[in-house]
Amino acid sequence: MKLKFENNIYDVDVTIQDEQVSLKLNGKTLLFKKGNSLPNMFSLASTDNGRFNQFFTSEDESHIYVNYEGDCLVFDKVKEEEKSFDANETESGNKQVVLPPMPGTIVKILVEKGQNVNEGDALIIVEAMKMETTLYASIDGNVSEVNVQASEQVDADKVLIVVEKEE
């Protein structure tokens, strides 16, 4: 099974025998002890110190959520056909695809199509939950696409602006 966490893909397999849990992680094997657990709470102890810690779990269609003492880890479920998924595809060094941080409203567009920008230049201001966020250029280049207008409502997957490095 593959899980994605903070841009890393983890190839994991877990086998359980009595209280011994073994985690195969990217080819390496780690051992845990499983204590009294619930369907959505797993009590696990690593073999080095033997102390049990409680991990609460839940899922939706595309994520698994794990909470350990207030620290929430969100894993993306990786489907087999997405094996070639490259997190940085949209931000390779030659092209920057600007997406909103979350669904929101466009406040102001600060660049025009065809304009040259430098890394760190402000491109666009988006508002969500009454908070303005300014998105900046991450490369030096030329604005090749501006796909939105001021006060337009956008979803999180809307490509707002594309900056391309000039050859």
Partner 1 sequence: MIKKVLIANRSEIACRIIRACKEVGIRTVAVYSEVDSEALHVLSGDESVCIGPAPALQSYLNQEVIIKAALDTNCDAIHPGYGFLAENSDFNRKVRDAGLIFIGPDPKPMELLGSKVASRQLMLKSGVPVIPGMKTSSMDISEFEKTADEMGYPVLIKASAGGGGKGMRVVLQKDKLKEAVESAMRESKSAFGSDEVYLEKYIESPRHVEFQIAADHHGNAIYLFERECSIQRRHQKIIEEAPSPVMDPELQKSMGETAVKVAKAANYDSVGTVEFLVDKDKNFYFLEVNARIQVEHPVTEMTTGIDLVKLQIAIANGEKIPYKQEELKQTGHAIECRIYAEDADNNFMPSSGTILFLKEPAGPGVRYDCGIYQGSKISVFYDPVLAKLIVWGKDRDEARQRLILALKQNIILGVKTSIKFMINCLEHPEFINGNTFTNFIEKNMNEKIPRPEFILNSALTAAVLFLQSQKKQLAVFSEGNGKMPSPWLSIGNWEICSSK
Contact between 104 and partner 1 (CB under 8 A)?
yes
Contact between 78 and partner 1 (CB under 8 A)?
no
Q: 3-state secondary structure string, 51-89?
A: CEEEEEEEECCCEEEEEECCEEEEEEECCHHHCCCCCCH
Binding positions for partner 1, 18-57, rule CB under 8 A: 21, 23, 25, 30, 32, 34, 37-40, 42, 44, 46, 48, 53, 55-57
Q: Are 133 and 119 in contact (CB under 8 A)?
A: no
Query: Binding segment for partner 1 among 67-75, 85-93, 139-147, 159-167 (CB under 8 A)?
Result: 67-75
- 2 DSSP β-pair partners: 11
Contact between 73 and partner 1 (CB under 8 A)?
yes
Contact between 115 and partner 1 (CB under 8 A)?
no
The token duo for 104 is 């929101």
Burial of 126 from C-beta contacts in 10 A (0-12 / 13-18 / 19+): buried
**Cβ 146 to partner 1 shortest distance, Å:** 20
Contact between 142 and partner 1 (CB under 8 A)?
no
Contact between 66 and partner 1 (CB under 8 A)?
yes
